[in-house]
Structure 1
Amino acid sequence: MSALHIAPDYSLTPAQVYKDMTLRYIARFQTLDLFRSCDLETCPPGFSSFVPDYASPKSESRLFTVHAHAGSQQSYVGTGDGGIVVRGVNVDGVCKVSPARKPLAVRTHEGDNHADIIATYRAWEPPGLMESPYPLGGTLLDAFVLLLSNGFCKDAYYDGHLPTFAESCDTFTACVWSGGDAELRTEPSHRAYVNELTSDRRGEVFFTTEKGYLGVSPASVKAGDVVAILAGASVPIVLRPQHTLDTRKYQIVGPCYIQGLMLGEGLLGSLPPGWMGVMHETRKWCFQTTDSALRTWEDPRLWSLPGHWQAHFCDIENKGESCQGACEIEYVRGARLADRWFLDMMSGERRREDPRLTIEGLEEGRVVLEAFELV
Structure 2
Amino acid sequence: MDLLTRQDHHVDQTLQSLQMAIANHFSPLRDHEIRLIDIKPGKPSDSLCLRLYHATLGRPTSPHFEALSYVWGSPAEPIKIVVEVVLPDSTLRNDEFPIGRNLAAALQHLRYVDVPRTIWADAICINQEDYDERAKQVLMMHDIYHLARKVVAFLGPEQDDSDAAFEVLERIGGKVEVDFSSGIVTPLSSSVEPEWVDMKQQLHLEKREAVSLYNLIRQEWFERLWIRQEIGLGEHEGVLQCGRKQVQWRVFCKAIFVIFRKPLVVDGFDVAEWQNFQRCLGQADTVALYSKRRFRFSNLRRQIRTSKCSDPRDRIYGIMGQLRESDQITFMPDYTKSVVEIYTDVTKKYIQHFNMLEILNQCELRPSNLSLKLPSWVPDWSSNLLSSQVHAVLPAIFDLLPTVATIDDRLLRAHGIPCGTVSQVLHKYELQEDANPTEIIQALKKLLSEAEKMSLHENGETREHILEAYTHALWVGNFGDRWYPPVPHEPFYDNCLSIVRSLLNCDSLEQPFLQEENSKRGLGRAHDTCTNRALFITEDGHIGLGPASISAGDELGLIFSCSKPIALRPSSKTPHGEATEYKVVGECYLDRRMLGEALLGELPRYLSRLLNPDNVTKPGNWGFIDTRTNTILLEDPRIEPFLAGLVEKGLLPDPSIEKLEKREVFDVLVKAGYPLKIYNLV
Give the alignment's TM-score, normalised by structure 2: 0.42
User: Residues 323-349 of structure 1: CA distance to partner in whole angstroms, max 9, x if unpaired?
Assistant: xxxxxxxxxxxxxxxxxxxxx9xxxxx
Letter of the 2:467 counterpart = L
Query: Given that residues 427 and 447 in structure 2 are in contact (C-alpha distance below 8 angstroms), is that contact kept between their aligned partners in structure 1?
Result: no
- Give the match's secondary structure for 2:572: coil
1:228: which partner in 2?
Answer: 557
User: Residues 261-286 of structure 1: CA distance to partner in whole angstroms, max 9, x if unpaired?
Assistant: 12222332222576431112423122
CA distance in 2: counterparts of 1:164 and 1:3, whole angstroms: 35
User: Residues 209-230 of structure 1: CA distance to partner in whole angstroms, max 9, x if unpaired?
Assistant: 1111111123401111111111
RMSD: 3.8
Letter of the 1:230 counterpart = I
* Distance apart, 1:50 and its partner CA: 0.4
Change (3 A) 1:70 1:226: farther
Letter of the 2:474 counterpart = L
Q: 2:490 matched to 1:166?
A: no
Letter of the 1:285 counterpart = N
* Distance apart, 1:149 and its partner CA: 1.7
CA distance in 2: counterparts of 1:130 and 1:206, whole angstroms: 13
* Distance apart, 1:258 and its partner CA: 1.0
2:466: which partner in 1?
Answer: 140
1:255: which partner in 2?
Answer: 587
- Give the match's secondary structure for 1:199: helix
Query: Given that residues 91 and 227 in structure 1 are in contact (C-alpha distance below 8 angstroms), is that contact kept between their aligned partners in structure 2?
Result: yes
User: Residues 7-64 of structure 1: CA distance to partner in whole angstroms, max 9, x if unpaired?
Assistant: 34455432222112112211222321211111221563431110011222333x1432
More displaced stretch, 133-142 vs 233-242: 133-142
Higher fraction of helix: 2
CA distance in 1: counterparts of 2:344 and 2:380, whole angstroms: 9
Q: 2:419 matched to 1:91?
A: yes
Letter of the 2:338 counterpart = T
Structure 2 unaligned segments of length 5 or more: list them. Answer: 1-319, 321-326, 644-651
Identity of paired residues, percent?
22
CA distance in 1: counterparts of 2:432 and 2:332, whole angstroms: 39
- Give the match's secondary structure for 1:253: strand
CA distance in 2: counterparts of 1:119 and 1:293, whole angstroms: 35
Query: Given that residues 231 and 359 in structure 1 are in contact (C-alpha distance below 8 angstroms), is that contact kept between their aligned partners in structure 2?
Result: no
Q: 2:339 matched to 1:14?
A: yes
* Distance apart, 1:200 and its partner CA: 5.0
2:476: which partner in 1?
Answer: 150
CA distance in 2: counterparts of 1:289 and 1:119, whole angstroms: 31
Higher relative CO (Cα under 8 Å, sequence separation at least 6) belongs to 1
Query: Given that residues 36 and 255 in structure 1 are in contact (C-alpha distance below 8 angstroms), is that contact kept between their aligned partners in structure 2?
Result: yes
User: Residues 171-203 of structure 1: CA distance to partner in whole angstroms, max 9, x if unpaired?
Assistant: 322234464643321135644433332335655
CA distance in 2: counterparts of 1:271 and 1:102, whole angstroms: 33
1:120: which partner in 2?
Answer: 446
* Distance apart, 1:82 and its partner CA: 2.8
* Distance apart, 1:131 and its partner CA: 5.4
Any residues of structure 2 matched to 1:281-300 within 5 Å, and which? 281-282=613-614, 283-290=619-626, 291-296=629-634, 298-300=635-637
User: Residues 144-185 of structure 1: CA distance to partner in whole angstroms, max 9, x if unpaired?
Assistant: 122122223344232234444333333322234464643321
More displaced stretch, 66-75 vs 35-44: 66-75
CA distance in 2: counterparts of 1:96 and 1:250, whole angstroms: 19
2:382: which partner in 1?
Answer: 55
Query: Given that residues 279 and 285 in structure 1 are in contact (C-alpha distance below 8 angstroms), is that contact kept between their aligned partners in structure 2?
Result: yes
- Give the match's secondary structure for 1:102: coil
More displaced stretch, 158-167 vs 16-25: 158-167
1:193: which partner in 2?
Answer: 522
2:365: which partner in 1?
Answer: 40
- Give the match's secondary structure for 2:446: helix
Any residues of structure 2 matched to 1:266-277 within 5 Å, and which? 266-272=598-604, 275-277=607-609
* Distance apart, 1:126 and its partner CA: 2.9
Change (3 A) 1:107 1:203: closer
Change (3 A) 1:180 1:37: farther
* Distance apart, 1:97 and its partner CA: 1.4
1:102: which partner in 2?
Answer: 430
Query: Given that residues 544 and 591 in structure 2 are in contact (C-alpha distance below 8 angstroms), is that contact kept between their aligned partners in structure 1?
Result: yes
CA distance in 2: counterparts of 1:116 and 1:178, whole angstroms: 12
- Give the match's secondary structure for 1:115: helix
Change (3 A) 1:31 1:279: same
1:351: which partner in 2?
Answer: none
Give the alignment's TM-score, normalised by structure 1: 0.73
Letter of the 1:249 counterpart = E
CA distance in 1: counterparts of 2:367 and 2:631, whole angstroms: 48
2:681: which partner in 1?
Answer: 374
* Distance apart, 1:133 and its partner CA: 6.1
Change (3 A) 1:100 1:212: same
Q: 2:406 matched to 1:78?
A: yes
Any residues of structure 2 matched to 1:298-313 within 5 Å, and which? 298-303=635-640
Of 518, 526, 540, which aligns to 1:211? Answer: 540
